[in-house]
Every structure is written in C-alpha cells, then in structure tokens.
Amino acid sequence: MSIRFISRVLLVIFFAFGFMFAQQTASVSPSGAAPPDGAAIFSQHCAKCHGEKGEGISAKTSIAGPNLQAEHDTGLAMTAIEVGPSHMPSFAWVLSVPQMRAVANYVTQNLAVIPLAGGNIGEGGTLFRTNCAPCHRTAVGGGALAFTGINAPDLSGKSEALVAGAIRWGPGPMPSFPPAVISDKQLDSIVEYVKFVQHPPDPGGNPLRYYGPVAEGFAAWIAVFALVVFAGWIERGGRG
C-alpha cells in the first residue's frame, strides 16, 4: 500500500469528519439561538414607511408606504420583503431568511386587523360607483384628477390587501374611509367588485375593453354607417 494512497484516504476521512461537524453545528446553533423578533425588525426597517401599526404613511409628507393591515398572506408579505415591489427596496441582502419570515409573520398575524372574508358584488358595485368611480372610473382604470394635477391610479392587478388598505388609509389626496363610513362588510364588497370588474363574464364578441354599452353602441353605428357608404360606392360602380 503506497503512501500516496494512504494520504488520500486520510484526506477523505478528514473532509468527511469536517462535513459532519459543520452539519451538526448548523443543526444545533439555530435551536440554541433566540428566534428573530419580527416586531423589532419591522420597527427598525419598515415602520418609517408603513407606520408602526402598518397603517401606511401618506405621500403628502413622506415616501408613500402602503397600508398593511389587510395583508393576510404570509407568502406575499415575504415576497415583498425579499423582492421589493415598486419603490420599496429589497431586503434580501439586509435580512436573513428567518428574519424576513419573522417580519412576514408579524405583519400577517399582528398587524392585519382588516378582515377580508368575501362580500356582495352588487353592493360593492353600488358603493364603488358612489365613492370611488369619480376618480378611479367604473372599470377601475384610473384617470386624471384636474383639481390635484395627478392621476388616480389604475386598480387593475392590485392585490386585495392593497385595495382594502388604501380605502382605510387614504394615500395622498385620496380621503380615508374608516369603519364608521364604510363597514368591514362593505369594504369586502368593494374589494370583490374591484376583482370582478377586471375579469367579468364574457358572453362572446369583442368586449371593446369593457367600456360599456355606450361605447359599444357607438362602434356599432360607425360600422353600420361604413357598410352603407360602401354599399353605395359599389352601386355606383366603384366610382366616387
């Protein structure tokens, strides 16, 4: 048996024991350490934009941080912390995975006080047209606000938590709607309407982006007029 063979065997044994020791250390140290404090991490890194209670900070005074009090999905909260949507920075290089998970659990289990249990679409439509459509339009597409010089945002693709939180929070020039004005049940109905109107039932034909019967009727009359003009042109032998 050569010395080279024995040295290789010893080297393999050394690395094997080293790997086992590292695995044992990794499995023991987390259990011995205190779990991350989600509340403390939130207060240090998140409250400056989202508020200490997740109530949101208005864009009038600071960087807008949306209301988090309707966020019940831990996975979405964790993704937002890691990815950093919109102007929010990513915390993937600042916080560890256990710390991000602790913050997400704190948001969904302690700050999420706005219940979202489903509502009535009809009631939500009535409430939305009364309170929201003047700025966001009936089809939730948003629009210009001449009196403020800004645009009301398009609500398409926005999460239920973001819509519900904005109603309670009132970001920027938008007024807030506390439970005394819109109850939790009515809030659920508005959120259901916003979800429904983005993907309404399709009976067939061209929906024309769901602008409504007036736009559809106008397009139909233009098509009929064009056919009449074309028929007259053919009758005259194709001459102008």
Extents of the domains making up the chain: 35-113, 114-200, 205-240
How confident is the model over 205-214, as pLDDT tens digits? 666 665 556 6
Name the band, by pLDDT with cuts 50, 70 and 90, for residue 71: very high
Name the band, by pLDDT with cuts 50, 70 and 90, for residue 97: very high
Structure confidence at residue 206 (pLDDT): 64
Check if CATH label 3.40.50.2300 holds for domain 35-113: no
Residue 192 pLDDT > 80, yes or no? Answer: yes
Q: Could you say which of 3.40.920.10, 3.40.50.620, 1.50.10.10, 1.10.760.10 is the CATH number of the domain covering 114-200?
A: 1.10.760.10
Give residues with Cβ within 8 angstroms of 138, minimum separation 6. Answer: 128, 129, 197, 212
